[in-house]
C-alpha cells in the first residue's frame, strides 16, 4: 500500500444494464444480511435479561457466527471461482434462513436455559456458513459483472446494503423483541433471506473464473494479509458498537441505544453515497488513513461521553470513519491477485472482517465484565489508531 501512488482514472459511468445488476445484488445482500443485523441487539438482551447469561457468554454466542464464517470463507471463494457466484448465493441464503428457525425454537420451546443456549449457538453456526457463502457470491458476481476497475464501487454499495441492514435491523429487531418477544425476531430472521433467495433466482450468473485445481490458502493470504489486517483492526470499533452499545446504554442508565446504532449506519451510508468512487480514484491507502483517524475520534467520543447526545454523535462519527475502510482495503487486496483467484481473494479478505467480529465479541465481553461496557470503545479507539499506523507503514 503506497499512499504516494499516482491518482487513477475514474471508471466510466455505469450503463443502465450495469445499474440494474448492481441494484439486484444490493437487494440480495440487504435482505440476506438482515438475518445478521436484525437479531444482534435482541440476542444480547434475551441472553442477559431472560436467560441470565454473563457478558462473556453473550460475546461467545455472538462471536461464534464469525468464527464459523472465517473458517468457511476460503471454501466459499473456491466454490464461487469454480462453480459460479450464483451457486454459492443459492447455498448460503437457505442456511441463513435456518438460523432464524433455530432462534424461534429457542424462544418457544419449553427447554432449560442451557438447551436454549445450545439452540442459539446452532443458529449462529448456521448463519456463519450462510453468510460466508452468500456475501462472497454476491461480491464476486458483481465484480465479475461490472469489472475489476469498479471493485471499490461494488464493495461500497454492497457495504451500504450490509450496514443498512444493520442500521434498520437493529431498531426493527428491538421493536419486534419488545412487541412479540424473541420468537418474533426469529420469524423475521428466517423470512428475510428467503426474500433475497427469490431475487437470486431471477438473475443470470457470470462464468466461473477459477480452475479445477485448489489454490492453497496460504498463497492467497500471503498476497492480501496486510490489507486484511488493516480491515481487521478497523472493524473492532464496529464490532463493539453492534455487540455492546445497547448494554453500554443500559449500564449508563440511558435510553435510545437503537437510535445510536442507526446513527452509526447513517454516517456510514451518507459518506458512501457521495464518496464511493474515492478508493478507485485515489487508491486504498490514502482513503484508509484519513478514515481511520476519523473512526478513532468517534470511538473516543463514545468512550468519554457524559450523556447520550455525545455518544450519539460519536456513533455517527465512527460510521463516517468506518465507511470507506472496507472498499479501500478491498481495492488494495484484489489488485494483488490474478483474476482466476478473485473469489478466493474476496472471500479471504472478508474473513478478516469476520475474524475481527469473532475475536472482539468475547474479548470485549470479558473486558466489559471487569471494567464496564464502555471499555469496548476505548479498545476500538486504540485499534483504529493501530490500523492507521499499519496503513501508513504499508
Domain region containing 272: 16-393
Q: How far apart are CA 184 and CA 186, in angstroms?
A: 5
Does any domain span residue 7?
no
Contact predicate 322/291, CB 8 Å: yes
C-alpha grid cell, residue 381: 479507539
pLDDT digits (tens, 9 = 90+) for 174-183: 899 999 998 9
Beta-carbon neighbour count of residue 19 at 10 Å? 12
The residue to which cell 475520534 is assigned: 297
5 assigned to some structural domain: no
Closest-CA residue to 358 (of 212, 242, 196): 242
283 Rama sector, left if φ>0, alpha if ψ -120 to 50, beta otherwise = left
Separation between Cα atoms, residue 206 and residue 102, nearest integer Å: 33
Tens of pLDDT, residue by residue over 260-297, are 888 988 898 889 888 877 887 787 788 999 999 999 99
4 within some domain: no
Residue 8 lies in a domain: no
Provide the residue-wise pLDDT of the chain in tens; the chain has 394 residues: 554 444 455 556 667 777 777 888 889 999 999 998 888 889 888 888 888 888 778 878 887 887 888 788 878 877 877 777 778 888 899 999 999 999 999 988 888 888 888 999 999 999 999 988 988 888 777 777 777 677 777 777 887 888 778 778 888 888 999 999 989 999 999 999 999 999 888 776 666 655 545 556 566 676 677 888 999 999 999 888 877 888 889 889 998 888 888 898 889 888 988 887 788 778 778 899 999 999 999 999 999 999 999 999 999 999 999 999 988 888 877 776 666 666 677 777 777 877 777 677 778 777 877 888 888 899 999 999 999 998 888 6
Residue 36 lies in a domain: yes
What is the model's pLDDT at position 212?
45
In a domain, 9, yes or no: no
For every residue of 176-245, DSSP letters joined together read: HHHHH-HHHHHHHHHHHHHHHHHHHTTS------S-SSPPPHHHHHHHHHHHHHHHHHHHHHHHHHHHHH
Evaluate whether residue 11 is within a structural domain.
no
Counting beta carbons within 10 angstroms of the beta carbon of residue 331, is it exposed (0 to 12), middle (13 to 18) or buried (19 or more)?
A: buried
The grid coordinates of residue 55 equal 457478558
Cβ distance 267 to 160 under 8 Å? no
CA–CA separation, 64 vs 361, rounded Å?
9
- Longest CA–CA span in the chain (Å) reads 63
For residues 240 and 326, give the distance between their C-alpha atoms in angstroms, rounded to a whole number: 17
Which residues are within 8 A (CB) of 75 and not within 5 positions of it... i.e. 6 or more apart? none
Please check whether residue 67 lies inside any domain of the structure.
yes
Alpha carbons within 13 angstroms on the beta-carbon side of residue 312 total 12
Spatial distance between the Cα atoms of 17 and 23, rounded to a whole number of angstroms: 10
Number of H helices, E strands in the chain: 15, 0
* Closest of 3, 2, 60, 21 to residue 286, by C-alpha: 3
Q: What is the DSSP string of 325-386?
A: HHHHHHHHHHTTS-GGGHHHHHHHHHHHHHHHHHHHHHHHHHHHHHH-TTHHHHHHHHHHHH
Q: What Cα–Cα distance (Å) separates residue 244 from each residue in 302, 312, 318, 333?
A: 12, 14, 15, 30
Q: How far apart are CA 209 and CA 220, in angstroms?
A: 15
- Count of alpha carbons within 13 Å of 311, Cβ hemisphere only? 28
Rounded Cα distance between 201 and 189, Å, is 20
pTM (2 decimals)? Answer: 0.70
Q: What is the pLDDT of residue 6?
A: 47
The total number of structural domains in the chain stands at: 1
Which residue, among 84, 89, 264, has the nearest Cα to 168 in the 3D structure? 264
259/322 Cα distance (integer angstroms): 18
CB contact at 8 A, 272 and 160? yes
Handedness of CA 344, 350, 352, 354 (dihedral sign): negative
State how far the Cα of 93 lies from the Cα of 127, in Å rounded to an integer.
9
DSSP secondary structure, 3-18, as one string = TTPPPPPPPPPPPHHH
Look at residue 307 in the predicted model and tell me its pLDDT.
94
Here the CATH number for the domain that contains residue 99 is 1.20.1250.20
Amino acid at each position: 500500500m503506497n499512499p504516494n501512488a499516482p491518482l487513477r482514472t475514474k471508471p466510466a459511468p455505469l450503463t443502465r444494464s450495469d445499474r440494474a445488476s448492481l441494484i439486484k445484488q444490493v437487494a440480495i445482500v440487504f435482505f440476506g444480511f438482515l438475518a445478521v443485523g436484525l437479531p444482534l441487539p435482541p440476542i444480547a438482551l434475551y441472553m442477559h435479561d431472560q436467560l441470565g447469561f454473563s457478558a462473556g457468554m453473550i460475546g461467545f454466542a455472538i462471536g461464534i457466527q464469525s468464527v464459523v464464517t472465517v473458517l468457511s470463507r476460503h471454501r466459499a471463494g473456491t466454490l464461487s471461482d469454480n462453480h459460479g457466484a450464483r451457486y454459492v448465493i443459492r447455498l448460503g441464503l437457505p442456511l441463513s434462513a435456518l438460523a432464524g428457525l433455530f432462534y424461534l425454537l429457542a424462544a418457544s420451546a419449553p427447554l432449560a436455559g442451557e438447551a436454549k443456549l445450545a439452540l442459539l449457538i446452532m443458529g449462529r453456526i448456521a448463519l456463519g456458513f450462510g453468510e460466508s457463502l452468500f456475501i462472497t457470491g454476491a461480491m464476486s458476481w458483481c465484480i465479475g459483472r461490472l469489472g475489476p476497475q469498479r471493485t471499490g464501487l461494488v464493495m461500497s454499495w454492497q457495504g451500504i446494503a450490509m450496514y443498512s441492514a444493520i442500521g434498520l435491523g437493529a431498531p426493527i429487531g428491538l421493536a419486534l423483541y419488545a412487541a412479540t418477544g424473541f420468537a418474533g425476531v426469529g420469524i423475521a430472521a428466517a423470512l428475510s433471506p428467503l426474500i433475497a433467495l427469490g431475487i437470486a433466482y431471477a438473475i443470470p450468473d457470470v462464468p466461473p473464473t477459477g480452475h479445477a485445481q485448489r489454490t492453497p490458502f496460504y498463497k492467497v493470504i500471503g498476497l492480501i494479509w496486510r490489507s486484511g489486517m488493516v480491515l481487521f483492526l478497523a472493524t473492532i470499533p464496529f464490532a463493539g458498537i453492534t455487540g455492546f452499545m445497547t448494554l453500554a446504554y443500559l449500564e449508563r442508565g440511558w435510553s435510545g441505544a437503537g437510535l445510536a446504532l442507526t446513527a452509526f449506519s447513517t454516517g456510514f451510508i451518507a459518506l458512501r453515497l457521495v464518496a464511493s468512487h474515492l478508493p478507485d480514484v485515489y487508491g486504498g491507502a490514502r482513503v484508509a488513513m484519513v478514515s481511520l483517524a476519523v473512526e478513532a475520534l468517534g470511538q473516543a467520543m463514545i468512550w468519554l461521553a457524559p450523556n447520550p447526545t455525545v455518544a450519539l454523535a460519536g456513533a455517527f462519527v465512527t460510521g463516517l470513519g468506518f465507511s470507506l475502510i472496507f472498499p479501500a482495503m478491498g481495492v488494495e487486496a484484489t489488485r494483488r491477485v490474478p483474476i482466476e483467484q478473485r473469489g478466493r481473494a474476496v472471500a479471504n479478505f472478508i474473513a478478516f472482517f469476520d475474524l475481527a467480529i469473532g475475536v472482539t465479541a468475547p474479548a470485549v465481553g470479558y473486558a466489559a465484565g471487569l471494567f464496564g461496557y464502555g471499555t469496548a470503545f476505548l479498545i476500538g479507539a486504540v485499534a483504529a489508531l493501530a490500523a492507521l499506523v499499519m496503513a501508513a507503514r504499508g
